[in-house]
Amino acid sequence: MTEIKKVAVIGAGVMGSGIAAHVANAGIPVILLDIVPQGANDRSALAKGAIDKMLKTKPAPFMHPKVAKLVTPGNLADDLDKLADVDWICEAIIENVELKRKLYAQLEEKRKKGSIVTSNTSTIPLDLLTEGLPDSFAADFAVTHFFNPPRYMRLFELVKGPRTKPAVIDALRKFGDVKLGKEVIDCKDRPGFIANRIGIYWSTVATVLAYDMGLTVEEADSIVGKPMGIPKTGIFGLADLTGIDLGPHVVGSMLKTLPKTDPLLQFYKADHPLNALMQKMIKDGYTGRKGKGGFYRARGKEALDLKTGDYRAVKRANLASAKVAKKGLRSLVEHPDKGGQYAWGVASRVLSYAADLVPEIVDDILSVDLAMKTGYAWKFGPFEQIDQLGTQWFADKLKAAGMPIPKMVEVAAGRPFYKEENGKTYQLTTKGDYAEIVVAPDAWMLADIKRGKQPIASNRGASLWDVGDGVACLEFHTKMNAVDADIIAMVKEAGKIDKKGFKALIIGSDADNFSVGANVGIALFQANIAMWPAIEQGISEGQDAYMKLKYAPFPVVSAVAGMALGGGCEITLHSDAIQAHAESYMGLVEVGVGVIPGWGGCKELITRAITNKRRPGGPMPALAQVFEAISTAKVATSAMEARDMLILRDGDGITMNRRRLLADAKAKALKLAEDYKPPVPVEISLPGPTAKAAMSLAVEGFHQQGKATKHDVVVSGALANVVSGGKTDITEVITEKKLLELERENFMALIKTSATLDRIEHMLTKGKPLRN
**16-46 pLDDT per residue, tens:** 999 999 999 999 999 999 999 998 889 999 9
Q: Which secondary-structure segment (H or E) carries 99?
A: helix 97-110
Q: How far apart are CA 718 and CA 724, in angstroms?
A: 10
CB 152 within 8 A of CB 338: no
- Ordered domains of the chain (ranges, CATH): 7-187 (3.40.50.720), 195-420 (1.10.1040.50), 446-589+635-679 (3.90.226.10), 593-633+680-772 (no CATH)
Residue type, 376: Y
- pLDDT beyond 90 at 507: yes
Total Cβ atoms within 10 A of residue 173: 19
Q: What is the pLDDT of residue 198?
A: 97
- pLDDT beyond 70 at 1: no
**Percent of the chain surpassing pLDDT 70:** 100
Q: What is the pLDDT of residue 40?
A: 84
pTM: 0.94
As a 3-state breakdown, the chain gives helix, strand, coil percent values, each rounded to 5, of 50, 15, 40
- pLDDT beyond 90 at 616: no
- pLDDT beyond 90 at 143: yes
Report the DSSP pairing between strands 462-466 and 311-313.
unpaired
DSSP string of 179-216? IT--EEEEE-S-TTTTHHHHHHHHHHHHHHHHHHTT--
pLDDT in tens, 410-464: 999 999 999 999 989 999 999 999 999 999 999 999 999 999 899 999 999 999 9
Q: What is the pLDDT of residue 441?
A: 95
Q: Kindly report the average pLDDT of the chain as a whole number.
A: 96
Q: What is the pLDDT of residue 400?
A: 96
Going by pLDDT thresholds of 50, 70 and 90, the confidence category of residue 716 is very high
Segment 69-94 mean pLDDT: 97
Segment 636-640 mean pLDDT: 98
**Percent of the chain surpassing pLDDT 90:** 92
Work out whether the CA dihedral 419, 421, 424, 430 comes out positive or negative: negative
Q: How far apart are CA 382 and CA 366, in angstroms?
A: 10
Q: How far apart are CA 717 and CA 697, in angstroms?
A: 10
3-state class (DSSP) for residue 251 = helix
Q: Which secondary-structure segment (H or E) carries 696?
A: helix 689-704
Q: What is the pLDDT of residue 95?
A: 87
Judged by average pLDDT, the poorest of 143-157, 246-260, 311-325, 737-751 is: 246-260
pLDDT in tens, 331-387: 999 999 999 999 999 999 999 999 999 999 999 999 999 999 999 999 999 999 999
Contacts of 440 (CB under 8 A, 6+ apart): none
| Runs of H (alpha helix) within 529-611 | 532-550, 567-573, 601-611
Segment 766-772 mean pLDDT: 91
